[in-house]
Structure 1
Amino acid sequence: MATPQKKPTGFRAAAHLPPNPQHIPLQPHPPINPAACNQSQLHPWCHSSSSVNYSVPLQQASQQPPISRNQEPNTTQTTFPFMENPRAPLLPVQNGSSAPRRPPKFHLPANAVLVTKYLTLLSGPLACLLVCLLAPVDGAGRSMLAAMAWVFLWWLTEAVPVPVASLAPLFLFPILGIASAETVARSYMNDVISLVIGSFILALAVEHYSIHQRLALNITLLFCGDTPNPALLLLGICATTAFISFWMQNTAAAVMMMPVATGILQRFPEGAAAPPPVVGFCKAVVLGVIYSAAIGGMATLTGTGVNLITVGMWEAYFPEARPIGFATWFMFGFPLALLCFLALWGVLCLLYCPHGGAATSLSAYLDRNHLRRELEGLGPMAFAEKMVLSVFALLVVLWMTRSITNSIPGWGSLFHVHVGDGTVSVSPFFWKTLFLTFDSHACACMQILMATLLFIIPSGKQEGEKLMDWAKCKKLPWGVVLLLGAGFAIADGVRSTGLADLLSAGLGFLRSVPYLAVAPLVCLVSSTITEFTSNNATATLVIPLLIQLAPSIGVHPLLLVIPGAFGAEYAFLLPTGTPSNIVGFSTGRIDIKDMLMTGLPLKVAAIATIAVLTPTLGEST
């Protein structure tokens, strides 16, 4: 009886290698008797792990000759992204010597690393001390400026993890006399924070059941005809990424879509063997994914943290004003995102997509049947997937209809405006909120409403198993929640201490700027700052200043806040501008020059879009 063939394990099974082009069947290895073999005749699999390269592709491993006694062992190994950085997305492995290589990292001596670490760690306290001693500000404003210096330096240098630095206001504000501990703690849990938690849990459910992969393959098949059109295929990939980014954070959308995109690109030749049209199209796909994730996050309130920070600060500064709900944001954000998306597609097609006869060079590598086989490999949509989509669709409908217009109040009016978008996605005592609508503190008890259903509805796979359990929620990004809470705490402190009035004086030059030039100028300033700091940190710093500046120049605050908020999302030029840019840069298919060539015209188009929509569509919404 023949020995059964063993399935590859370890890196061989995880690498997702392309099918054997020669269609050579793998023969089972005959039984080996070590006692009957001398050392020089041993099979390669009998050698120790230090002499055999297990990280090479499967075909190459099966073709390696035996290693003699005097032969130097081959220790060259293919580097996987997750071996250098465990947090890097698991992208398809690039095999062969033609794969793009990153330059070797520069390693500092151990003592230099320790000195740098301690300097960055002490930068926050030292900056706080210097501001307290030297800043020409009196009273609580000086204390608030010192606390901001501490927090922002830790954010920028990452002397401690960003979530840990986001906890600093909880001890700095009471110590410096800015606010009580109870007041600061309230900033870390409000309707916006609960909205974020609910959105994250739903996004984890979508990711767990691979709904995003099914959606991506369906849309790719829709745009990939019998004769593939590179521009239409690029449009399908970018549109899918943007749509996913509507409902989850930009980085999560980029991480989820990049393996799908690079899986398509894996069919193309790489390195010197790749013709220029193929190289350009690969760059267009990677750039399209990261920029589409950023643009898609502009459309909805839950798309990115900047949107939530903006709404939270607006409600904190103007509690009596009409709140900015999900539908209100969508009425302005979706047209803006659509125009920016079309500009992105046009720039990518103009710079990278092959035209005319060059486009046919891609047809040999894009197999519609292979895409269909990948979709069939996912199997039919199971009951659990259908229920997750149903809960998600119900949540979107409730978000869109809570508050529609002034004449059509929406279902939120039935609860005396005591519910918000976060109440839909979160509220631990939902039924208490439902019946005690006259209790103004009912909605303060926030936890998951729609997300709670995922912990109740059975999955249909095993008896007692639900769609979600808490073990799956351990990946919930609490760091983002803490970062948002720190932003709200800083905004409250800037307002309560009067520091915003002092800082807004530095933007006094806007008083002499023409009315129609205010929005693009504010957007330009904000988009420049965000290239060197995180989007959320830029919004936290800029938006309170713009709110305080608006009355002094005689304009509505939203005329400054909206361009400043969207400008904080225009991090298109550098890989460090936003984590989603790093996701694309880590694939090795693009470099900084490509980002500058694409991001600069895209940023100009996005600022021009803000300049047109803010005084027109913004007035009506």
Structure 2
Amino acid sequence: MPTAHKQEHKPVTKLSQKRSTSGVGHAREACALLWPQTLILFIDRQNKYKFFLYTKKARNNQRKFRSQLLLSFAMIQIEENADQNSPLLPAAAPPPRRRWAAAVDFFCILIGPASCAIVLVLVDIEGRPMARNVMAALVWVFAWWLTNAVPMPVTSMAPLFLFPLLGIESAQSVAKSYMDDIVALVLGTFILALAVEHYNIHRRLALNIALAFSPGDAMNAPLLLLGICSTTAFVSMWMHNTAATMLMMPVATGILPSSAHFELRQLSKGVVLGVVYSATIGGMSTVTGTGANLLLVGMWRSYFPLAKPIGFSTWFLFGFPMALILFLCLWTILCYFYCSRGSSEALSLHMDKTYLKRELENLGPMAWAEKMILIVFSTLVLLWMTRNLTDEVPGWGRLFKGQVGDGTVSVMMAMLLFVIPSKKKTGEKLMDWRKCERLPWNIVLLLGAGFAIADGVHLSGLTDELAKWLSFVEKTPWFIIPFIVSLVSSAITEFTSDNSTTILVVPLLIELAKAMDLHPLYLIVPGGLGSQFAFLLPTGTPSNVIALGTGRIQVMDMVKTGLPVKIAAHLALAFLMPTLGVAVFGTNEPL
């Protein structure tokens, strides 16, 4: 960072404008201020460089600038022939890269196409060339997913060229997999989630719940932990669990400041683990909560287009009780490990209800924009829940002869945010496209890749061969099958993402269910949910990495807490699937 001469005690602002005669390209603009003890915020947008410098109190001019926050602006137009890529501030030199790192990167990149070529040349699947081609494409895609040789969204686009080139599907058919009702559901839901984040509604919700779970003036550590975890689980029901973790982690850690006190450090660990695990558990309860649920629902519709689709309300009737049981188990485990007898007393010494009320007052009263977003959000949930009810009491979807889906409603309600005024500025709406720049296109591409792979595996008959690897399940008693399936799926998901596990496991379980003459949902629901039981290692889900990134927990903390949570999840699923699952999904009826 450039520093000013120590002998100067006046802000030196210089405006120089140099017009370039070449007229080629765009000029770069910079705002610079020279002053001791400055903090620079650097923004780079569209080839324009701006420096906003906020000065602290000058040591030698305290009387003059005691209550003044100096903000000075100067524009310096740099000549067009300057190096556009050179930084305007001296940056720290990147750490030297080892020579073997480039070789490792090249090797990881080479694994994908090399493995694909080996499968094409050496593998023969009982005279099924298309199945062999699909396996070759899968080997390429999964090799890059596992090694992260290429960014995951880029790898997710590989089926768009691999499937047509290998003769699996036409380019038109593959492209359709990347935009269907499930993808529309994701886009609409994430736009609403971005609106919630933009207007700070999630923080207001967390503070209100923390106050509600704090009876009396003294703080209660287990109840505060319950409030933070329940808020995270609720938020995760309506957005991706990773996004919910990113939203709630700074809110939760901000409510509970770090401290050298042992009880508070332990409670802080419980809060961090509670946020990440509650986000995972809350995502299980709804279709929109996680990509694995969306993939499972989409694959079910792709394999069985004539069967009754899994709607939002259908999944909620099974997923919410499952998530509720698991959430209570999680809270009990967290209290046992991280809420000692002295934690409430130690917490009361550092914060109380007055602190929470002050933080809530800083947010101010709810504005028109926040109220309208809550109304739109509540209406969306209501429409999701009532689109399909029962055969005796049909939902509102019957009025449109079954032509509308959950994605239809999601996009429709999201578009309202671009129409309703925010009443903050003249002509400003609740949302504009600039606020949607962080839409999760990586999730969209991953879902498209999952649907394309599912179609290719199904059409080629590859699942018939791969399902033979799980033939040992056929000898298992039917009431133990959900436990075995979820156990296998959760073991895989500790080393890869839940989405990748779902893409791999669900087609195999469908073929296995056909061989065992069982309803496919009796196997794929435990398989899809089991892929989300990534409670032990950071590799299972990005949410776990976010938790480790706080610096408040270690891997062993995840293992110690995640193992009993994982056992409770398997037992709960093994109990609910043969009981509640039969009633909700109709697994005792013919397909």
**TM-score of the superposed pair, with normalisation by structure 1:** 0.79
AA of the residue aligned to 1:493: G
- Partner of 1:515, secondary structure, is coil
Q: Is the 8 A contact 2:236 2:280 kept in 1?
A: yes
Match runs of 1:121-520 below 5 Å: 121-137=109-125, 138-225=128-215, 226-266=217-257, 268-270=258-260, 274=261, 276-355=262-341, 357=342, 359-426=344-411, 449-520=412-483
Shift of 1:368: 1.4
AA of the residue aligned to 1:473: C
Structure 1 residues 358 and 584, CA gap change in structure 2 (3 angstroms): closer
Shift of 1:135: 1.6
- Partner of 1:381, secondary structure, is coil
Structure 1 residues 352 and 419, CA gap change in structure 2 (3 angstroms): same
AA of the residue aligned to 1:289: V
Partner in structure 2 of residue 98 of structure 1: none
Q: Report Cα offsets for 1:34-73 as digits up to 9, x if no partner.
A: 9xxxxxxxxxx858999xxxxxxx999989xxxxxxxxxx
Q: Greater strand share, 1 or 2?
A: 2
Supply the distance in 1 between the matched residues of 2:409 and 2:36 (Cα, whole angstroms): 61
Structure 1 residues 46 and 496, CA gap change in structure 2 (3 angstroms): closer
Shift of 1:269: 1.8
Q: Report Cα offsets for 1:382-429 as digits up to 9, x if no partner.
A: 111111111111111110000012222201111111111111113xxx
Alignment match of 2:518 (pick from 531, 541, 555) = 555
Partner in structure 2 of residue 14 of structure 1: none
AA of the residue aligned to 1:480: I
AA of the residue aligned to 1:600: L
Match runs of 1:16-55 below 5 Å: 32=9, 46=36
Partner in structure 1 of residue 562 of structure 2: 599
Partner in structure 1 of residue 589 of structure 2: none
Supply the distance in 2 between the matched residues of 1:464 and 1:351 (Cα, whole angstroms): 52
Supply the distance in 2 between the matched residues of 1:482 and 1:32 (Cα, whole angstroms): 55
Structure ranking higher on relative contact order (CA contacts 8 Å, 6+ apart): 1
Structure 1 residues 140 and 62, CA gap change in structure 2 (3 angstroms): farther
Supply the distance in 1 between the matched residues of 2:37 and 2:405 (Cα, whole angstroms): 65
Partner in structure 1 of residue 502 of structure 2: 539
Q: Is the 8 A contact 2:221 2:343 kept in 1?
A: no
Supply the distance in 1 between the matched residues of 2:204 and 2:482 (Cα, whole angstroms): 40
Q: Report Cα offsets for 1:108-144 as digits up to 9, x if no partner.
A: 8432111111111111100100111122313100000
- Partner of 1:224, secondary structure, is coil
Partner in structure 1 of residue 535 of structure 2: 572
Partner in structure 2 of residue 15 of structure 1: none
Q: Is the 8 A contact 2:264 2:343 kept in 1?
A: no
AA of the residue aligned to 1:398: L
Q: Is the 8 A contact 2:420 2:430 kept in 1?
A: yes
Q: Report Cα offsets for 1:148-191 as digits up to 9, x if no partner.
A: 00111111111111111000000000000000000001100111
Q: Report Cα offsets for 1:436-458 as digits up to 9, x if no partner.
A: xxxxxxxxxxxxx1111111111
AA of the residue aligned to 1:265: L
Supply the distance in 2 between the matched residues of 1:388 and 1:487 (Cα, whole angstroms): 32
> Alignment RMSD, CA only?
2.3
AA of the residue aligned to 1:403: N
Shift of 1:463: 1.2
Shift of 1:527: 0.4
AA of the residue aligned to 1:559: Y
Q: Is the 8 A contact 2:36 2:58 kept in 1?
A: no
Supply the distance in 2 between the matched residues of 1:33 and 1:493 (Cα, whole angstroms): 69
Partner in structure 2 of residue 25 of structure 1: none
Q: Is the 8 A contact 2:218 2:353 kept in 1?
A: no
Structure 1 residues 136 and 459, CA gap change in structure 2 (3 angstroms): same
- Stretches of structure 1 that go unaligned for 5 or more consecutive residues are 1-30, 35-44, 51-57, 64-105, 427-448
Supply the distance in 1 between the matched residues of 2:38 and 2:324 (Cα, whole angstroms): 58
Supply the distance in 2 between the matched residues of 1:107 and 1:136 (Cα, whole angstroms): 47
Supply the distance in 2 between the matched residues of 1:108 and 1:420 (Cα, whole angstroms): 53
- Partner of 1:471, secondary structure, is helix
AA of the residue aligned to 1:606: A
AA of the residue aligned to 1:382: A
Shift of 1:208: 0.7
Supply the distance in 1 between the matched residues of 2:57 and 2:553 (Cα, whole angstroms): 28
Q: Report Cα offsets for 1:221-273 as digits up to 9, x if no partner.
A: 1112312111101000000000000100101111111111111221x423xxx
Supply the distance in 2 between the matched residues of 1:48 and 1:151 (Cα, whole angstroms): 48
AA of the residue aligned to 1:344: L
AA of the residue aligned to 1:618: G
AA of the residue aligned to 2:552: R
- Partner of 1:455, secondary structure, is coil
**TM-score of the superposed pair, with normalisation by structure 2:** 0.83
Shift of 1:33: 7.8
Shift of 1:459: 0.7
AA of the residue aligned to 2:191: I
Q: Report Cα offsets for 1:517-563 as digits up to 9, x if no partner.
A: 10000000000100100110000000011011101112111110010
Supply the distance in 1 between the matched residues of 2:352 and 2:318 (Cα, whole angstroms): 39
Shift of 1:361: 2.3
Q: Is the 8 A contact 2:483 2:574 kept in 1?
A: yes
Partner in structure 2 of residue 114 of structure 1: 102
Supply the distance in 2 between the matched residues of 1:337 and 1:232 (Cα, whole angstroms): 19
- Partner of 2:361, secondary structure, is helix
Q: Is the 8 A contact 2:490 2:530 kept in 1?
A: yes
Shift of 1:362: 2.1
Q: Is the 8 A contact 2:228 2:275 kept in 1?
A: yes
Supply the distance in 2 between the matched residues of 1:208 and 1:371 (Cα, whole angstroms): 21
Supply the distance in 1 between the matched residues of 2:189 and 2:491 (Cα, whole angstroms): 29
- Partner of 1:364, secondary structure, is helix
- Partner of 1:570, secondary structure, is coil
Supply the distance in 1 between the matched residues of 2:179 and 2:503 (Cα, whole angstroms): 17
- Partner of 1:461, secondary structure, is coil
